[in-house]
């Protein structure tokens, strides 16, 4: 594991890579604020003619909305270079699973938008508090739709008991496909004293009630995310690097796809957590060790003028 803070290492990474894959939350921004200096670095790479790709597990934005957010924070891009889990889960359901019934969605409007874009029928977005007790008559108010053949779980700020009744009930059928976007347990939200639950919390609750693990993960480190990228973008893994803030998702994703990996400490994973991984004797954790570490992407800004 190498420190990437020096200009030498920075120049070396530029000359040895044609493609830079960036995670977003915790790397480019935290909540509504850009990570200071990060935009200068990304734009510098674009101006050098490098291929810049955005790869995010966050399902709360469609590709169109990511174009807007990236642009508003200083990262102009176009949607062909943006891979979010709202988009990849819609691709999976349409082209791989070829779902012909309905999808029960524990998710959000952006996931619905991407499903609509590929013509997948879905329901479940928004508040659902039909049942709130263990009373049989109350539970029965959660009417079940017999035409559901997939449950998709992404970020849902309206997660509720009723939604868990429905997801558990649909997934009792072993032929009902169970898709999840990602397992991130927390979101990095800047100087926030609150802990912010990520999609991993919603997925854990559905796994528990359904007594099943997801059949497919549509985000990092799942392999489908890289397949989606490769389908439309030509990447030479030998000359590509994945830059992220989370060892479990970004670094494992990079390693599993033979990319170089760089971890920044501006988001989820801390230097302490990496040290714990290095000291662990658990071989499974080795996949989480990045090739390079850097406190923040913005630390490179001084080399980009």
Q: Which residues are catalytic?
A: 23, 25
Q: Does 177 bind a second copy (CB under 8 A)?
A: no
Q: Does 200 bind a second copy (CB under 8 A)?
A: yes
Q: Considering the complex, what minimum distance in angstroms separates the CB of residue 203 from a second copy? A: 8
User: Which residue in the set 205, 247, 261, 288 belongs to the binding site for a second copy (CB under 8 A)?
Assistant: 205
> 3-class DSSP state for residue 16?
helix
On whether 116 is known to bind a ligand per the annotation, the reply is no
- Binding span for a second copy by CB under 8 A among 7-15, 183-191, 224-232, 253-261: 183-191
User: Which residue in the set 36, 76, 190, 295 belongs to the binding site for a second copy (CB under 8 A)?
Assistant: 190
Q: Does 110 bind a second copy (CB under 8 A)?
A: no
Please give the Cα distance from 93 to 123 (Å, whole number).
Answer: 14
Eight-state DSSP code of residue 35: P
Q: Give the residue among 232, 236, 294 at the shortest CA–CA distance from 263.
A: 294
Please give the Cα distance from 59 to 203 (Å, whole number).
Answer: 13
User: Which residue in the set 132, 258, 270, 275 belongs to the binding site for a second copy (CB under 8 A)?
Assistant: 132
Q: Does 40 bind a second copy (CB under 8 A)?
A: no
Q: Considering the complex, what minimum distance in angstroms separates the CB of residue 166 from a second copy? A: 8
Q: Does 49 bind a second copy (CB under 8 A)?
A: no
Q: Give the residue among 276, 269, 305 at the shortest CA–CA distance from 188.
A: 269
On whether 220 is known to bind a ligand per the annotation, the reply is yes
Angle at 230 between CA 227 and CA 231, to 5 degrees: 85
Q: What is the 3-state secondary structure (H, E, C) of 115-165?
A: HHHCCCEEECCCCCCCCCCCCHHHHCCCCCCCCEEEEEECCCCCCCHHHHH
Q: Does 103 bind a second copy (CB under 8 A)?
A: no
Considering only residues 149 through 168, tell me which ones interact with a second copy, judged by CB under 8 A: 155-161, 164-165, 168
Q: For residue 227, give Cα distances in angstroms to 168, 177, 184, 222, 230.
A: 29, 20, 20, 10, 5
Q: Does 148 bind a second copy (CB under 8 A)?
A: no
On whether 30 is known to bind a ligand per the annotation, the reply is no
Complex with a second copy: residue 191 or 279, whichever CB lies closer: 191
Answer yes or no: are the C-beta atoms of 302 and 13 closer than 8 Å: no
Under the rule (CB under 8 A), what is the footprint of a second copy?
31-32, 58, 60, 127, 129, 131-136, 139-140, 142, 144, 155-161, 164-165, 168-169, 171-172, 185-187, 189-190, 192-198, 200-202, 204-205, 207-211
Q: Which residues are annotated as a binding site for substrate?
A: 220
């Amino acid at each position: 594991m190498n420190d990437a803070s020096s200009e030498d290492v920075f120049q070396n990474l530029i000359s040895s890579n044609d493609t830079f894959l960036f995670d977003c939350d915790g790397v480019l921004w935290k909540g509504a604020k850009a990570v200071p200096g990060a935009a200068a670095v990304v734009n510098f790479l674009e101006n050098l003619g490098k291929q810049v790709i955005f790869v995010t597990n966050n399902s709360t934005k469609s590709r169109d909305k990511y174009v807007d957010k990236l642009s508003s924070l200083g990262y102009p891009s176009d949607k062909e270079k943006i891979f979010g889990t709202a988009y990849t889960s819609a691709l999976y359901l349409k082209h791989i699973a070829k779902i012909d019934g309905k999808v029960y969605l524990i998710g959000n409007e952006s996931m619905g938008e991407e499903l609509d874009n590929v013509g997948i029928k879905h329901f479940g977005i928004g508040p659902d508090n039909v049942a709130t007790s263990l009373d049989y008559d109350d539970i029965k108010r959660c009417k079940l739709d017999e035409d559901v053949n997939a449950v998709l779980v992404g970020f849902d700020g309206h997660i509720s008991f009723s939604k868990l009744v429905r997801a558990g009930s649909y997934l009792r059928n072993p032929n009902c496909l169970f898709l999840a976007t990602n397992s991130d347990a927390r979101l990095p939200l800047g100087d926030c004293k609150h802990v912010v639950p990520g999609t991993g919390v919603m997925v854990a609750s559905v796994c528990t009630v359904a007594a099943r693990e997801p059949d497919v993960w549509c985000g990092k480190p799942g392999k489908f995310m890289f397949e989606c990228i490769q389908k439309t973008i030509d990447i030479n893994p030998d000359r590509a690097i994945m830059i992220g803030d989370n060892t479990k998702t970004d670094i494992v994703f990079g390693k599993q796809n033979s990319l170089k990996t760089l971890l920044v400490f501006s988001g989820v994973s801390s230097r302490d957590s990496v040290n714990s991984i290095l000291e662990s004797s658990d071989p499974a954790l080795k996949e989480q060790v990045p090739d390079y570490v850097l406190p923040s992407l913005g630390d490179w800004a001084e080399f980009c003028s």
